Amino acid sequence: MSDLPTPTAQRLRKPSWRDSRLLVGLLLVLASTAIGAYVVSRADDRVPMYAAKSGLMAGQPLTSEDVVRVDVQLGESAGDYLGAAEGLPEKSFVLREVRAGELIPQTAVGGEDEATARPVTLQVDATSASTLREGSIVDVYVNRPARQAKGAVGTATFAGPNLALPRVTVVSLAEGDSMMGGAGDTRAVQVMVPEDKVRELVGDVDLGSRITLVAVPGALDSATS
């Protein structure tokens, strides 16, 4: 009986740079390194900006308590917003509404001489005021008394409501129950009025006009928390 040939063991050879598996692995390492470097470089593009900590109302002073720092990537748009790197400008005022959590536009901040809105307290229809809160954005409707014929007596009539002020901010609402008056239940509400409209609105109040505030849809979320 002849002996079967004994197989010869092959020695393992060291991988060569020509080995396709080695090349694929090397490419994967290089690719992951490049991706990681890109992600880190993109993260470094973030810049510190100021966002509204709560709803900001036109006319109010802007202080460090009203803002929060956030790091965001804005690219070329960074100059359009209030940066946090150098702190808040001194004696800054809010010029228009900024909702809670929003970045603060440069155009929404200015000096005291630019903050022309003035707080005016109005006795408004209690029903229209019941859904409002500080920071609500409202349209102001004024219903002026109608002119009556000389010597006429009876219940006062009104000419019909007109939009007197669009999109003004509610600063505060009186606490407690509403008041009873000739025009029905009313509630004191303070709103920010553009300076050039204050005189006309005060005149309407003195004439005994009925004033109703209508909330702007979607603007209630801008109220302060």
pLDDT of residue 224: 39
Model confidence band, residue 225 (pLDDT cutoffs 50, 70, 90): very low
What is the rounded CA–CA span in Å between residue 198 and residue 117?
A: 9
pLDDT tens column, 108-153: 898 887 788 888 899 988 888 888 887 788 999 999 888 755 555 5
More confident residue, 84 or 178: 84
DSSP state of 37: H
Buried b (16+ CB within 10 A) or exposed e, 147-171: eeeeeeeeeeeeeeeeebbeebbbb
Q: Which of 107-116, 163-172, 177-186, 198-207 bottoms out in mean pLDDT, i.e. has the lowest?
A: 177-186
> For position 95, what pLDDT does the model report?
83
Residues 6+ apart with CB under 8 A from 110: 92, 93, 95
pLDDT of residue 142: 93
Sign of the dihedral through C-alpha 120, 124, 126, 130: negative
Confidence of residue 192 (pLDDT cuts 50, 70, 90): confident
pLDDT of residue 62: 92
pLDDT of residue 202: 93
By mean pLDDT, which of 24-33, 137-146, 183-192, 206-215 is the weakest? 24-33
Architecture field, domain 47-110:
Alpha-Beta Complex (3.90)
**Is the separation of the CB atoms in 45 and 73 below 8 Å?**
yes
Task: For tokens 């008041």, name the residue.
Answer: 179
Mean pLDDT taken over the chain: 79
**Percentage of the residues of the chain whose pLDDT score is greater than 90:** 23
pLDDT tens, residue by residue, 30-83: 777 777 766 655 555 788 999 999 888 878 889 999 999 999 988 888 888 999
Rounded distance, CA 25 to CA 4, Å? Answer: 42
Low-confidence winner among 42-51, 164-173, 180-189, 200-209 (lowest mean pLDDT): 180-189
Q: How many CB atoms lie within 10 A of CB 4?
A: 6
Mean pLDDT value across residues 203-207:
91
pTM as predicted: 0.55
CATH of range 117-147+157-222; options 2.30.30, 2.40.30, 2.40.50, 1.20.1050? 2.40.30
| Residue 223 pLDDT > 50 | no
> How do the domains of the chain map onto residue ranges?
47-110, 117-147+157-222
Please report, as a single letter, which amino acid is at residue 204: D
Per-residue pLDDT at 160 exceeds 90? no
Per-residue pLDDT, averaged over 154-160, amounts to: 72
